[in-house]
Structure 1
Amino acid sequence: MRTRTPPFSTLRLFDAAGRHLSFAKAAAELNVTPSAVSHGIVGLERALGVKLFLREPGRLSLTREGADYLTYVSEALSLILVGTRRLPTPHSGRTIAVSCAPTVASRWLLPRLHAFRAKHPRIAINLDTSHRPVGFPVDGFDFAIRMSRIPAAPTNWSPLFGEWLVPVCSPSYRETVASAGGFDPARATTLHVTSLSEDWQAWLDATGAADVPSLGTMRFDTIQLSLEAAAAGLGIALGRRSLMDRELRDGTLVEVGQAVPAATTYWLVSSDLVEQEQDLRSFRDWVLTEASAIVSDQATRMSPVARSVGGRGCPTPAEAATTS
């Protein structure tokens, strides 16, 4: 019967290798050599008397026992991280960990963070822009900003703001594809975002337009890249007004079609620790206040035409929270 916990160092090696399914990537994360990772895993397997990985040419995978063990090890390490972060230090404040999609982080959250930092200079912010799912508290995050039609859980989801979907391109590109209806699909290249559930088809359905028989398509994995491609004159992107106000103001991008409300809403997802810590409550309240300004601006800018699209206007966060 096993009574001794394996060395912490080998558990870190196993956690990294199990997440990446690569000794080389685990080595890069931990700043050691792949050989050190491999030898550490072998030692761990010998100590446990269980094979954790299947090693095949060009492929590393977890055994059933390894996958089960990884769940416990990863959760234990995450809880240690959470507990360590919560310890007070004499010269610094709380570190708040936030998970947020790249485009929302760079175009909405990041430009506003200086205001929060000015009010709370002792609170540090760790911002993660990977698309991976977040589990509270085991992943070490305090907040996540997510796009969804409805909350994925009954508690700790606060609505932020919705979006307007509108075709945009560079001023020079508009001159080559302009038509009475906004743009001529037969002469345009449409720019698609593969990671979104609402893209061109959602806009076509809302406007009642026929399918876009475009000259061609380009596909990207982030909204950011699609907007940069549109600004560079590569085609027409389906922009989000809440994320491209800067480009619309300075004329880098221009609207070339009808704006329609998206069915999805951005939400602030919070850990259960928020009510226990003033720093977390301060960040949550600040984010909600910043988002309320977006909602007010959207309501002010809604045109009569946009209000009538599909018989619905852009939902407020409160409305979005009760509809799907």
Structure 2
Amino acid sequence: MSRKIPSTAALVCFEAAARHESFTKAAQELSLTQSAVCRQIASLEEFLNVELFRRSRRGVKLTEPGLSYSRRVATQLDAVERDTLSVMGQQGANVIELAVVPTFGTQWLLPRLKDFQTRHPEVTVNLTNRTRPFLFADTTFDAAIYFGDADWSGTQSHRLMGENPLPVCSPALLGTKASLSADDIAQLPLLQQSTRPYAWRQWFNAQNLNIHRDMTGPRYELFSMLAQAAMHEMGIALIPPFLIQRELEEGRLIIANPHALSSIKAYYLMIPERKVESASLHAFRDWLVNEAARYTLEHE
């Protein structure tokens, strides 16, 4: 069955004309004549049986359906352009499209990725931020690094490391104290991580405390945001030390209490079953698992 899709040329002309609200400027941008742009848009309106522009002596203006359609068309054309440039750039190379939780990718993976590139120059690893699980079938990702329990249907999991966050804050919050007790911490603004909503409750419970306000406080999706908020004296946060090594070394953040929050959850490399035989992913998996094991051994 044939698809109900207008010509690409008509869509490109429409997107440019909608962006400029001018057939003349669209024609200049696309190196076409104004009459050619008019014909393409007229054919699109005929195809849709919808008026996209109102014409007047002063020019053209998008109709409500035209405005709505232009936004969706622009998004889809941008996506097609990105995919096209990606294919052009690969030129037959072995490429791994990796979804990764942001702060882990920035603070732990990227500083080590040059070693993998040196060992496997034939493989390119592209990173895209994803904070939550998704369906591999709905994306172009070849693998993902995420924090959880490895319960991800249709995938093969490889444990990398635990998290073990500690209470950290700006040195200014400690004042003259060397550290803070759990009771002291309970009196401070608690910075919350939106993907770990019960973290503070679990931490306080492990100290045999029941704090009524353990889930209150501003919420941030990324550990990098938590770290920034803590450095600016907005409160105290539970953050894995390996994600804030530089901040700890430079004294911009300090560990306020030595008790870590233990969890059965961990960082995992997830590979969809349809990709497990990929030679590139085999190489990346072996390298990543070894790097994680070495790091864990060095910091136990």
Give the TM-score normalised by structure 1. Answer: 0.63
Specify the alignment match of 1:264 in structure 2: 265
Distance in 2 between residues matched to 1:42 and 1:148, nearest whole Å: 52
| Unpaired runs of at least 5, structure 1 | 14-22, 67-72, 301-324
Q: Which amino acid in the other structure matches residue 167 of structure 1?
A: P
Task: Give the structure with higher Rg (CA).
Answer: 2
Specify the alignment match of 2:114 in structure 1: 114
- Report whether the alignment pairs 1:33 with 2:19: yes
1:239-254 to 2 correspondence within 5 Å?
239-254=239-254
Specify the alignment match of 1:306 in structure 2: none
RMSD value over aligned CA atoms? 4.4
Deviation of residue 167 (structure 1)?
A: 0.6
Deviation of residue 42 (structure 1)?
A: 10
Distance 1:102 1:176, change over 3 A: farther
Distance in 2 between residues matched to 1:110 and 1:243, nearest whole Å: 12
Specify the alignment match of 1:277 in structure 2: 278
Distance in 1 between residues matched to 2:45 and 2:207, nearest whole Å: 59
Distance 1:185 1:128, change over 3 A: same
Q: State the Cα deviation string for residues 46-104 of structure 1 (Å, max 9, x = none).
A: 65889xxxx979x969xxxx9xxxxxx9xxx8xx98x9589863xxx322211112111
Specify the alignment match of 1:165 in structure 2: 165
Specify the alignment match of 2:287 in structure 1: 286
Distance in 1 between residues matched to 2:46 and 2:273, nearest whole Å: 39
Distance 1:107 1:254, change over 3 A: same
1:1-324 to 2 correspondence within 5 Å?
2=2, 7=7, 33=19, 47=47, 89=92, 93-131=93-131, 133-153=133-153, 155-175=155-175, 181=181, 184-185=184-185, 187-211=187-211, 217-257=217-257, 258-272=259-273, 274-297=275-298, 300=300
Contact 1:136 1:271 in 2 (8 A): yes
Q: State the Cα deviation string for residues 228-261 of structure 1 (Å, max 9, x = none).
A: 2222333211111332233334433222221121
Contact 2:116 2:287 in 1 (8 A): yes
Identity of aligned residues (%): 29
Distance 1:193 1:122, change over 3 A: same
Contact 2:155 2:272 in 1 (8 A): no
Distance 1:2 1:46, change over 3 A: farther
Contact 1:147 1:267 in 2 (8 A): yes
**Secondary structure of the residue that 2:229 maps to in structure 1?**
helix
Distance in 1 between residues matched to 2:147 and 2:12, nearest whole Å: 32
Deviation of residue 224 (structure 1)?
A: 0.8
Deviation of residue 283 (structure 1)?
A: 1.3
Contact 1:145 1:267 in 2 (8 A): yes
Specify the alignment match of 1:304 in structure 2: none
Question: How many residues end up aligned between the 2 structures?
Answer: 263
| Unpaired runs of at least 5, structure 2 | 27-37, 51-62
Deviation of residue 147 (structure 1)?
A: 1.3
Distance in 1 between residues matched to 2:41 and 2:148, nearest whole Å: 39
Give the TM-score normalised by structure 2. Answer: 0.67
Distance 1:179 1:95, change over 3 A: closer
**Secondary structure of the residue that 2:210 maps to in structure 1?**
coil
